[in-house]
Structure 1
Amino acid sequence: MKLTSRIAAAGLTAALTLTAACGGADTGASAGGGANVDVTKLKLTPTTPKARGEVSTVNWLLEDEPESLDLDTQGGSAGRTVLTNVCERLYQMRPDMSVRPFLVVKEGRPDTKTLVLTLRDGVSFHDGSPMTADDVLYSLRRHAQPDMEQSDEFRHVAKMTKTGPREITISFKQPDALFTKVLAGDAGLVYNRELVEKAGDEFGTPGQGDACSGPYELTGWKSGDSVTITRAPHYWGRKPLTNKVVFRWAADSALVNALTTGAADGTYADSINTVAALRGKAGLDEYFGPSTAVLTLIPTERGGLADPGIRRALSLAVDRAGIAKSGYGGLVEPWATPVGSGSWGYEKDVFAAAQNKLTEAPAQPSAQDITKAKRLVENAGNAPDRPIVIGTDGTQGRLVIANAVRAALSRIGLQGRIKTVPAAEYGEFYGDKSARADIDVLVADWYISKSDPIGVYDNAVSGSSDNWIGFRSADYDREVEAAGGTLDDKKRARLVVDIQRRFSAAKVWIPIAQQPTTLVISDKLTGAPASMAYLYYPWAADLGAKKG
């Protein structure tokens, strides 16, 4: 699925300084030039130290109860956080966000429009039955059904067939370089056909078991109370160190209290408020990992930012470092592209270097940046003659961004007005054109599920429902299509870097900061990944005690 879900991230009222646990890839804080200022430089680490000892039970917190454990019908992050430990995929996203074959042991490409998958032998479902090619083909066809969450990921697929006892062949209408990455997500989940069909419409609901082959099996779901997964006794792979994980849900102060008192052992924190409230608490460790999530400004159809010169001017004038410190306590990083470093699942050095070459998204605008921005406004052929309306909700972080945008507009001779709406109405801005008819730019959160930057840049092709500003470029469209069909990683990376350059020059979106994944965990536990891979990787299977 081309994931355009937004991450709810509440802001902070107090500024904090980030001291991320463990060293990791230095993603760079300059975000493309500007003044040489002292801004927080996030140290992201994809993993935590390896676990040494077994644990009987871990109590884990989600911010919401899963709506369903059938990810074909409801792809929420709560359900995925649980189920990724229970169900396995044909490919696997690793903690470093790279992708490798998993239930597939060999990948063949006789030509650019054919993918031959040789399946792993010896895999069994939790009921003891063996995984077969028929189960895999059934699962793929189920994911591809028009009403399922992953259906759009199969848009280039012409045919899927069983071509051997342990072989599936997929034929494409055109080359699709991202399809194996898709199979590391929910489109690659493999189900026991017999059990899914037996459960029917009840599959994935409380009281039902799972139909999977992973290191844990679903052993209980008490609606309104908890979900329990237990180490699968006959798992075909490596035995997890933790025997049982009990999931409960809480938000805000309840979540903070549960972790502080030891009633809960860990969480992947969605809210920056949660992270701030838990910093320095005795008995807890915090880790920050790569993510694809970015805070960004998205211009709308209303037209206040229709002129690309005005968009460039605004990008130059926004104080990203100030937003990071006062709105998010230093826990986000000024950023120049619309997707986070977690998307760099290959050719990381190439993408990091390209990010740092972008020059119109300074961490903190210099006097020269403001002068250039004012000149762009003066030369704009379509400068707005009314206030630019900035849409946001009431969360502190987004309000800080909105105020920073209004201040930036004022610095370059334009007026801004903030429109604050309730959370439910804010969510409608993303999918309903009429809902955003009265705003010129949305303060947005955005992430993608693929560890490939091209997964965000197709939002700017002509006619895309997410291309609100109406950006059109035949060259851009051709290059996005070419990148999506380029199977060689090095060649695709070069194309993506040029696409990124075009996107940034046009300021289709105006990136503000990347948001890391945050893992808060008992200081007696370790092993779980800290990156966004936890949504697709069996993170609990790596979890255990620090000491043997």
Structure 2
Amino acid sequence: MPSGTAGAIRQTRPLRRTVGTFLAAGAVLITSACSGTANPDKGGSTSIAYQLTDRTPAASGGLDSFTWSIFAEPTSIDYAYSFDYPPNQILSNVCESLLRWNPDLTTSPNLATSYSNPTPTTWVYKIRPHVRFHDGTSLTAKDVVASLRRHLTPSVGSAWVNSFRNVKSVSQSGALEVTVKLKKPDSTFNQAMAASPGTVESAATLAKEGKNYGSPKSGVNCTGPFSFRSWTPGQSLVLKKFDGYWNPKLKAKAGQVKFVFLSDATTRVNAFQSGEVDGGWMVPADSYGQLRSSQAGKLYFGRNTTVADEVVSNLEGPLGDAQVRKALLMAIDRKGIVKAGAGGVGEVADSLVTDNLWKNAPAATRKALAKDLPRYPYDPAKAKELAKKAGVRGQRVVIATSPLDSQTKIITQAVAQAAKAIGLDPKIDTLSAEKYSTLFTDPAARHDIDLFLTFWYTSITDPMDMYTSLTTGAVTNYGNWSNKDFDKAVDKAVGTYEPAGHAEASAKAQGIALRELPWLPLYTQPVSVFLGNRITGVQPSIAYLYYPWAAEIGAKG
């Protein structure tokens, strides 16, 4: 997450989840409460209640096939470049990582049966025996080494290089054992082994396919419950059940999954209603009401780690003053955005990360966070006064957007209205989806842009997956914000394995970020998924980007 890039609008690693795609799809995926039912009376929630579902009804049997909508066609399904919703939701069913990120946001062994941390800078992974790739060859430690080392190879240009920033070496240390040496302690590295950074591919396949790896012609050769069958550019990608899959608990119930690329939100919703497709993630928010009463299937919501943010990408202009950033946030009607832009399903965000990322923190830390978190309630009068004191009246701010979905349009208009209300002179700069995506990858594209939208998700259950993105010099620190105390707190958190110390340092970093507001948090929203009447079994969760969700889908009884 995503981690990421800017998916529809966001990410955490160099490329990750790129906004272009994010945006382009009209993705509405934002995070929600971290437990079963979202509380409509909590904080900035709207009056519309929604239920989070841990698991849809279990399948009664198998299926020959099912069809799934996806809002954009991937450019590649190479795990090194899979940093966004389209490729990851496909690849999570085909390839596997050393560890597994589960739908409840916990981590468990996967292709590694166990791992150990004998020294603060050493991680040792025991590789699972008797696992086969889709071509029938056996998984070995050599494959793991080759797969992880790709992220360290400059010529590859992995989107996940940030996860390997502290890695010194990756080597085989036994017949089925791999050892990773770090330059310094890194509490996030092992967690990342449950996401794309920990993906394992056949070393022989990587060598054979080279730059063609992950393309429509070559596909991939991994160990997951489904294997790559075909990819028709511009139309669809097909996976088939892998009968030789090692994990009996996650053997695919369907013989085939066909992903169809439907970029238009209305077209996707119509396909749900007609039964042309059996389901899809990231349901357009403006169709929630329609699909909640649909006779064609059911709409579900689940755990998420995404926050919709306005990235402050120019600190040389009026938004270079933290007081002006606070004023702008306090002038944005975030409740109104949730109601009008997110279908009333979501909550105003008080942080750049969701509450569920703190689930591993000691209770005392969680209690202190709830008490000390800086908050910026909607208060146009106070916001106007703050901006007046800063002396920025009449100064121009440029807000980038892309005309790809109603949600993005509503957010952009609300932010522009807030800017005008505090005396600024807002200008909306509408970019194509492709050009919008470059805001996340090319500093030159951000020239003269003061604000742009991202839906930023994390790929591990740790606030540091977000906050490392804002350290001085980070590729994802789009506004080049710099705070020495913040950097120190992040370094301490990343370098601390002990839960209480890690949480304390993470909380300090978060406090600084929320007082300085290099990004403006808007709201969170749950993962959304629609299941047609033929299918059931999925676990609604942001983990679908790395967990083999399609394997659990079967016939509805």
Q: CA RMSD in A?
A: 3.1
- Alpha carbons 2:354, 2:524 under 8 Å: kept: yes
Instruction: Give the aligned residue type for 2:7.
Output: R
Partner Cα distance (1:23, 1:113) in 2: 34
Q: TM-score, normalised by structure 1?
A: 0.88
1:295-374 to structure 2, matched below 5 A, reads 295-301=308-314, 302-341=316-355, 343-344=357-358, 346-347=360-361, 354=369, 358-362=373-377, 365=378, 369-374=379-384
Q: Quick one: which of 455, 461, 465 aligns to 1:455? A: 465
Partner Cα distance (2:538, 2:368) in 1: 29
- Which shows bigger deviation, 194-203 or 532-541? 194-203
- Alpha carbons 1:29, 1:333 under 8 Å: kept: no
User: 1:516–1:111: structure 2 CA closer, same or farther, 3 Å change rule?
Assistant: same
Instruction: Give the aligned residue type for 1:389.
Output: V
1:517 deviates by 1.8
Q: Tell me the alpha carbon deviations over residues 124-154 of structure 1, each in whole angstroms, 9 at most, x when there is no partner.
A: 2223322111111121112332223233322
- Which shows bigger deviation, 382-391 or 86-95? 382-391
Partner Cα distance (1:211, 1:464) in 2: 32
Instruction: Give the aligned residue type for 2:398.
Output: V
Partner Cα distance (2:455, 2:232) in 1: 32
Residue 62 (1) aligns with residue 70 (2): yes
Residue 6 (structure 1) aligns with: 7
Runs of 4+ in 1 over 6 A off after TM superposition: none
SS at match of 2:200: coil
Partner Cα distance (2:130, 2:281) in 1: 33
Residue 233 (1) aligns with residue 246 (2): no
Residue 16 (structure 2) aligns with: none
Residue 438 (1) aligns with residue 448 (2): yes
1:159 deviates by 1.4
1:178-327 to structure 2, matched below 5 A, reads 178-208=188-218, 210-238=220-248, 239-252=251-264, 253-269=266-282, 271-273=284-286, 275=288, 278-301=291-314, 302-327=316-341
Partner Cα distance (1:9, 1:276) in 2: 21
- Alpha carbons 1:27, 1:44 under 8 Å: kept: no
SS at match of 2:294: coil
- Alpha carbons 2:274, 2:296 under 8 Å: kept: no
User: 1:348–1:92: structure 2 CA closer, same or farther, 3 Å change rule?
Assistant: farther
1:207 deviates by 4.2
Q: Tell me the alpha carbon deviations over residues 412-448 of structure 1, each in whole angstroms, 9 at most, x when there is no partner.
A: 4444343333333333333333433333322333333
Instruction: Give the aligned residue type for 2:232.
Output: K
SS at match of 1:305: helix
Instruction: Give the aligned residue type for 1:489.
Output: P
Q: TM-score, normalised by structure 2?
A: 0.86
- Which shows bigger deviation, 217-226 or 119-128? 217-226
User: 1:414–1:250: structure 2 CA closer, same or farther, 3 Å change rule?
Assistant: closer
Partner Cα distance (2:234, 2:422) in 1: 52
Partner Cα distance (1:217, 1:348) in 2: 41
1:120 deviates by 1.6
User: 1:497–1:48: structure 2 CA closer, same or farther, 3 Å change rule?
Assistant: farther
- Alpha carbons 1:240, 1:542 under 8 Å: kept: yes
SS at match of 1:518: strand
User: 1:205–1:417: structure 2 CA closer, same or farther, 3 Å change rule?
Assistant: closer
SS at match of 1:242: coil
Instruction: Give the aligned residue type for 1:251.
Output: S
SS at match of 2:238: strand
Partner Cα distance (1:67, 1:435) in 2: 21
User: 1:361–1:270: structure 2 CA closer, same or farther, 3 Å change rule?
Assistant: farther
1:323 deviates by 0.9
- Which shows bigger deviation, 334-343 or 256-265? 334-343
Partner Cα distance (1:156, 1:337) in 2: 27
User: 1:160–1:469: structure 2 CA closer, same or farther, 3 Å change rule?
Assistant: closer
Partner Cα distance (2:478, 2:397) in 1: 16
1:322 deviates by 0.6
- Alpha carbons 1:463, 1:470 under 8 Å: kept: yes
Q: Tell me the alpha carbon deviations over residues 209-238 of structure 1, each in whole angstroms, 9 at most, x when there is no partner.
A: 642111122233334443222221222111
Instruction: Give the aligned residue type for 2:350.
Output: A
Partner Cα distance (2:504, 2:515) in 1: 17
Residue 15 (structure 1) aligns with: none
SS at match of 1:56: coil
User: 1:152–1:432: structure 2 CA closer, same or farther, 3 Å change rule?
Assistant: same
Partner Cα distance (2:510, 2:37) in 1: 21
Partner Cα distance (1:42, 1:498) in 2: 32
Partner Cα distance (2:532, 2:384) in 1: 50
Partner Cα distance (1:337, 1:373) in 2: 19
Partner Cα distance (1:455, 1:190) in 2: 21
User: 1:345–1:190: structure 2 CA closer, same or farther, 3 Å change rule?
Assistant: farther
1:110 deviates by 1.2
- Alpha carbons 1:275, 1:518 under 8 Å: kept: no
User: 1:141–1:227: structure 2 CA closer, same or farther, 3 Å change rule?
Assistant: same
Instruction: Give the aligned residue type for 2:258.
Output: V
Residue 56 (structure 2) aligns with: 48
Residue 157 (structure 2) aligns with: 148
- Alpha carbons 1:292, 1:447 under 8 Å: kept: yes
Structure 1 unpaired stretches of 5+? 13-17
Structure 2 unpaired stretches of 5+? 9-21
